[in-house]
Structure 1
């Protein structure tokens, strides 16, 4: 593994801890437009470069986290895209949730250059990324997966191979995000109702977590929902507008299949309302403020 070189473009909240984790056993190249993030990367043993193309040149794998399909296309094939700088036989590891449509076309274009694509959307925040405790679901041709499996295993405590073609990972992540988005919205409704009923929200949260109503999202987002009305709000660990994007992917996929998803659609509207109330950059736990906007003490 020590002979493997991984390039990481974007050293933000997730990129830097993932690159740092990989640098414990691999050679890691990194690039970010922020000089501060580049300095932190160098301190973590990551080799930094002047631009993205230099960063990926000669790398065996490119770990890529982008916001959506349009950004994926721009990073790889745009005016300053890096696809042409990847060596034949290299593999792009796509860790983002970009939806079902973008990935097969991207895999085909990379294939023309002799570059593979491993569709590997992940779940887990920055702390779990730095500890190698992520959930990663993978759709990839077996030969391409074999090249980068050690990279993925360094990052994941749970690595689920869900299909043998790019796009399969996106499909499972779409199902995952349906449940996550609905669970956050349901937790917000429950805690908003508790307050309106005159219950102490913290006590309510503790009681709910001890019973059948508990869920990962209730336990994870619930405490942050209790901080939503403070002047500084909850720490932003997952932006609300990420679920605007992800629930849009969910409902678009379902609509294309003529599948009714009324609960997911209702949750999507809640995140859209949050975005309309200037909460796009807030932590997604702030969605409770859409349900109970007058609850601030």
Structure 2
């Protein structure tokens, strides 16, 4: 279905590593981003630097986007100098987390011009993007999914076809990220309580990860980034807040109450209001540590000095 160069728009924490994987696999890329610093490593590997999304869509039949907000996705796809104005594009793949409503809007807008649309949000974090070990939740025409599968397999090793209706992949991603956020925050509360009570954090994680309380936060993020105090390689708090907010908005539109979701959203809104929106999501525990006057680290055994 697609020949020639592939377009890639949005070279942030997730998009940058995904685009680099495509370049390293020998794909010819036309890239676009608002930041020169994000474009430099791509151009150094041979990518064409496009002026705007329309320039990408004039050169490439297949365009992938990885953008931070629904508004950014709308502008890139349907706005002025957007993909809709391009002459070569026939396939659009959205790797962002934008929610089902935006996915349907973009699919309808691009579909009027005969452009096939897949929403394909990803999960696995920055490390997964770097290593090609992402999960992709794809919805849209199955024939289009199969046609671009070989390119998507460079980005992720777990491809799931969710269904033909636009937005189903987004709904799946929002459900997953709600659970991820909840796991992270619940693990932080449990770890702070335990360390405040005299438990060693590493012993706590060993017990939890051999027991029923284990989750992705206790099994990976906390041993790697909290106990070590590096707080690295997880998504920004403001983006996690965006995802949970979108999840609750979709749930409300569907008539599905999410009581716990409201508490998670409120905590994330608080964190962003305190100026930590650009910090990694695994660093959310710092708020709880401050309230409890304790630090969950490799040497933590009681109140911090």
- Partner residue, 2:177: 177
- Partner residue, 2:194: 194
Cα separation, 1, equivalents of 2:243 and 2:171: 12
Give the one of 259, 263, 268 matched to 2:265: 268
| Alignment of structure 1 residues 118-133 onto 2, 5 Å | 118-133=118-133
Cα separation, 2, equivalents of 1:68 and 1:13: 14
Per the TM alignment, residue 132 of structure 1 is displaced from its structure 2 partner at its CA by 2.1
Per the TM alignment, residue 140 of structure 1 is displaced from its structure 2 partner at its CA by 0.7
Q: SS state of the match for residue 53, structure 1?
A: helix
Cα separation, 2, equivalents of 1:155 and 1:130: 9
- Partner residue, 1:13: 13
Matched, 1:214 2:214: yes
Cα separation, 2, equivalents of 1:97 and 1:7: 19
Matched, 1:252 2:253: no
Q: SS state of the match for residue 277, structure 1?
A: helix
Q: How many pairs were matched up?
A: 292
- Relative to the length of structure 2, the TM-score reads 0.88
- Partner residue, 2:39: 38
Preserved contact between residue 136 and residue 159 of structure 2 (Cα < 8 Å): yes
Cα separation, 2, equivalents of 1:2 and 1:113: 16
Preserved contact between residue 29 and residue 56 of structure 1 (Cα < 8 Å): no
Per the TM alignment, residue 44 of structure 1 is displaced from its structure 2 partner at its CA by 2.7
Partner deviation per Cα, 1:89-130 (whole Å, 9 max, x = no partner): x11100111112111121111011121110100012233223
| Alignment of structure 1 residues 87-126 onto 2, 5 Å | 87=88, 90-126=90-126
Is there any run of 5+ residues in structure 2 with no aligned partner, and where?
Answer: 296-303
- Partner residue, 2:300: none
- Partner residue, 1:279: 276
- Partner residue, 1:57: 58
| Alignment of structure 1 residues 217-228 onto 2, 5 Å | 217-223=217-223, 224-226=225-227
Across the aligned residues of Structure 1 and Structure 2, the Cα RMSD in angstroms comes to 2.1
Higher RCO, 1 vs 2 (CA within 8 Å, ≥6 residues apart): 2
Per the TM alignment, residue 248 of structure 1 is displaced from its structure 2 partner at its CA by 0.9
Per the TM alignment, residue 41 of structure 1 is displaced from its structure 2 partner at its CA by 0.7
Preserved contact between residue 273 and residue 290 of structure 1 (Cα < 8 Å): no
Cα separation, 1, equivalents of 2:216 and 2:253: 29
